Structure 1
Amino acid sequence: MPAGLVISAPASGVGKTTLTLALARAWRNRGLNVQCFKSGPDYIDPAFHAAATGRASVNVDSWAMDRATIAHLISRGTDADIVLAEGSMGLFDGVAARGVSGTGATADIAEMLGWPVVLVIDPSGQAQTAAAIAAGLRDYRAGVRLAGVVLNRVASPRHEDLVRRALNDAGIAVFGALPRHAEISLPKRHLGLVQAEEQAEIGKLIDEAARFIAEHVDLDAVLRAAATWSPQAASNGLNVTPPGQRIALARDAAFSFVYPHMLEAWRAAGAEISTFSPLADETPDASADVCWLPGGYPELHAGGIAANARFRSGLRAFAERRPVHGECGGYMVLGTALIDADGIRHEMTGLLGLETSFARRRMHLGYRLARLAAPMPGHATGARLRGHEFHYSTIVAQPDTPLAVVHDATGAVIAETGSRRGHATGTFFHLIAEDR
């Protein structure tokens, strides 16, 4: 039977992803089958997990998914030797109001699965206080079990010794301590890490991280701390209706934010997916019955999208008879115009009246619960959809008929309602699941 661990931390930016990738590759190099998951709404990290393990990774989310859905997704780890769930933000960070099976916190997944937590602690600017933080996290919630910690970015041997002694006094195992190592720093941009497929040297970077971790962390001790895990039977899979039988999916550096579990659910339901690249001036497959534009980084490629007349005219022709849906960045491209960070206005496809601006930068972040006021591909009027929004654009104009009434996780109504016009629909949130 496989063994399971959760990799978490007190906060974001401490090194969870780097440790997860390094452990996964180091154990894979030893001949173990490693399966990774991502806790929370992150559409970038699963691709890094896949690069490290050679196995597809998916998201599990206690706010948006019920226990049956999570069990179904986790069951893919049945044939693995070790399963790692990488957390998001801090261990107990979630929203104020409970969702389907929790608040979205990594701790929900750890408790639900019964997997112990390995904490990544960055003791920069402190020493014994790091032990107090780790002890507080250990004792905060009865159902969450701490396996031990890995120290990251320790300043010196003396610094490491002070922190280790304090953790030992608190009864907390230290699996290893990592000195600063710039060579394994993963590059970032405004929505998170630069995507794995954009990094030609990602394999070498993960190999170096694995070598570095193996040198400084007791891999055998971490493996022994994992909980033997017997997966529950996954009864009825994901409650996801594909948007069509044959789906034309935009897929390139500007359109890449789509949850892996959604694509798998569409295929499992019998749908076929054909991809095309708007950046390469390609058009959707003429035999498709629906076109889906996921989010990504259209703001970094707005000039190219505006210049690609074949893509824009082809998408407009497709939408004359068949549905087209856009999420976040895809929604922006369905709009009339996108104003980039330099204030330059770029013409988009004009299927919707939406106009957005990155010159007036403002972060929009959080879970979303939408009740559809009209149908969208795969979902009927009245459907309750759970998703997540994360972007830095500002709405300049959103003149079309609202697609949905959208609430944040506190229940407050928000202005990002999505839009519909003709066969075109769009939302700022990325769909995770539909309420059963």
Structure 2
Amino acid sequence: MAASLVISAPASGVGKTTLTLALARAWRNRGLNVQCFKSGPDYIDPAFHAAATGRASVNVDSWAMDRGTIAHLVIRGADADVVLAEGSMGLFDGVAARGVSGTGATADIAEMLGWPVVLVIDPSGQAQTAAAIAAGLRDYRPGVRLAGVVLNRVASPRHEDLVRRALADAGIAVFGALPRHAEISLPKRHLGLVQAEEQAEIGKLIDEAARFVAEHVDLDAVLRFAANWSPQPAASGFNVAPPGQRIALARDAAFSFVYPHMLEAWRAAGAEILLFSPLADETPDASADICWLPGGYPELHAGRIASNARFRSGLRAFAETRPVHGECGGYMVLGTALTDADGIRHEMTGLLGLETSFAKRRMHLGYRLAELAAPIPGHQAGARLRGHEFHYSTILAQPDTPLAVVQDATGAVIAETGSQRGLATGTFFHLIAEDR
């Protein structure tokens, strides 16, 4: 049985990721096997989890996934000593309309799996009010159990004492208090944290975070409040079909945003994934059935992509006979042109007519439900796909035949329909699952 916990907070930016990584590494340093998960659609944090634990982490999402899929995914924690699920945003933050098994809130996963919550509380600018916030979160939803709190960024011993006393009066356990420590802050970028694979020093950073947290948090007490959890056999597995038998997948610093469970689903169905790097001017493997360009940061490498003639011509030749699909950044690269943040226009592959610009940033964020008007690799016309969109590009032109009718989580139809032309298709959202 695994000691299982959810790491959450009242809001974003409080320190959930840093605490999750530090706890995972600290327990791993004690010889324990630690399995992490990410609640919600964030596709960056699982790579950090893997760096901390040495085990692959995946997303579990109550808006996009049914209970059977979530149960199947968490089975990977069966042989672990400790299971940690890192939340997203605040504990109860989700969308207004319920999805497949919930609203996407971290609380959905905590209640569904019976894992108690460790709250990260930042009491900056307050004292006893921090206890009121923790007590309110504890009592808000009966099915969600609070294990205790870790205080982050406390200003002084006196500040810590005030908050601790208030929490004790509220009957809430305090596992530790972390003073401000800038050296373990993780670098940020406009889509969130910088990817783990881009940070050569990530191992040292996590080690320092683990040392710091072990010094200030009672790790044994945290485990005592964890749930003793054994996964139940899942009635169903992945609800994702592989797009082909041999999949040419772009993978480098510009193309790295793909959900880990998607790749596992493809492999579990017998597909072979053939990696290639557009930034290295490589082309899709000639033996592949389809080519898939995931999202990432192509806007940071647009000049290089535009100058890599071998990649661009090779992809166009591939698309003459076999399907090519792009998600978000991959969709932009399939388009005609991309204008970077400096206003410089770069020619892309031209398989689609899409033109995008980062010169005037506009955030596009949220869950997406798409009903396909035409097939994409692995999914037929009429399929209902659930995914998540997050980017800052502005659409200058989207002239091709719309790929799908796309709605946000409220059911409102949005303009980011995706495109189809010949054997090329693209979407702004990242696919998570197909409705059963």
Mapped partners of 1:225, 1:306: distance in 2: 54
**Cα distance in 1 for residues equivalent to 2:69 and 2:357:** 36
CA distance in 2, matches of 1:252, 1:14: 30
Q: Counterparts of 1:85 and 1:3 in 2: how far apart (Å)?
A: 11
Query: Which residue of structure 1 aligns with residue 335 of structure 2?
Result: 335
Q: Distance in 1 between matches of 2:64 and 2:92?
A: 16
| Separation in 2, partners of 1:147, 1:76 | 23
- Structure 2 counterpart of 1:174: 174
Deviations 1:296-339 (A, max 9, x none): 00011101100111100000000000000000000000000000
Q: Give how far 1:230 is off.
A: 1.9
Q: CA deviation at 1:233?
A: 0.2
The 3-state SS of whatever aligns with 1:261 is helix
Cα distance per residue 1:97-122 (max 9 Å; x no partner): 00000000000000000010000000
- For residues 190-245 of structure 1, the C-alpha deviation after alignment (integer angstroms, 9 at most, x for no partner) is 00111000000000100000000000000000011100112110233101110000
Query: What are the equivalent positions in structure 2 for 1:235-250 lying under 5 Å apart?
Result: 235-250=235-250
- Give, in whole Å, the separation in 2 of the partners of 1:26 and 1:379: 42
Q: Aligned partners of 1:274 and 1:391: how far apart in 2?
A: 26
Q: For 1:3, what is the secondary structure of its paired residue?
A: strand
Pairwise CA RMSD of aligned residues? 0.5
Aligned to 1:140: 140
Write out aligned runs for 1:340-355 (5 A). Answer: 340-355=340-355
- Cα displacement string for residues 47-72 of structure 1 (whole angstroms, at most 9, x for unaligned residues): 00000000000000000000000000
CA distance in 1, matches of 2:250, 2:191: 19
SS of 1:142's equivalent in the other structure is: coil
Q: What SS does structure 1 have at the residue aligned with 2:70?
A: helix
Partner Cα separation in structure 1 for residue 174 and residue 69 of structure 2: 34
CA distance in 2, matches of 1:109, 1:283: 40
Q: Tell me which residue corresponds to 1:17.
A: 17
**Where does residue 300 of structure 2 map in the other structure?**
300
- Separation in 1, partners of 2:240, 2:299: 29
Query: 1:356 — aligned with what?
Result: 356
Could you tell me which residue of structure 2 aligns to residue 60 of structure 1?
60
1:177 counterpart SS class: strand
Q: Distance in 1 between matches of 2:59 and 2:48?
A: 13
Alpha-carbon distance in 1 for matches of 2:224, 2:328: 42
What is the CA–CA distance in structure 2 between the aligned matches of 1:152 and 1:302, rounded to whole Å? 39
- SS of the counterpart of 2:215? helix
Percent identity, please.
Answer: 92
SS, match of residue 123 in structure 1: coil
Q: Which residues of 2 match residues 193-232 of structure 1 at below 5 A?
A: 193-232=193-232
Instruction: Report the Cα offset of residue 134 of structure 1.
Output: 0.5
Q: Which residues in structure 2 correspond to 1:369-388 (within 5 Å)?
A: 369-388=369-388
Question: Using the alignment, how far apart are the partners of 1:169 and 1:308 within structure 2?
Answer: 64
Aligned length: 436
**2:187 is matched with which residue?**
187
Q: Distance in 2 between matches of 1:116 and 1:325?
A: 40
| Equivalent residues in 2 for 1:250-269, closer than 5 Å | 250-269=250-269
**C-alpha displacement at 1:360, in angstroms?**
1.4
User: Hey, which bits of structure 1, 4+ residues long, moved more than 2 A?
Assistant: none
- Between the aligned partners of 1:352 and 1:407, the Cα distance in structure 2 is 22
Give TM-score scaled by structure 1 length. Answer: 1.00
Note if 1:416 corresponds to 2:416: yes
Inter-partner Cα distance in structure 1 for 2:131 and 2:208: 29
| C-alpha displacement of 1:255 | 0.3
Find the aligned partners of 1:61 and 1:266 in 2 and give their Cα distance.
19
Deviation at 1:83, TM superposition (A): 0.3
What is the alpha-carbon distance in structure 1 between the residues aligned to residue 195 and residue 252 of structure 2?
11
- Which whole-Å CA distance do the structure 1 matches of 2:211 and 2:397 have between them? 51
Deviations 1:322-367 (A, max 9, x none): 0000000000000000001111100000000000010111000000
- 1:200 and 1:342 mapped to 2: Cα distance? 27
CA deviations 1:26-59 (Å, max 9, x no partner) are 0000010000000000110000000000000000
C-alpha distance in 1 between matches for 2:95 and 2:131? 26
3-state SS of the aligned residue for 1:178?
Answer: strand
- The SS at the match of 2:390 is strand
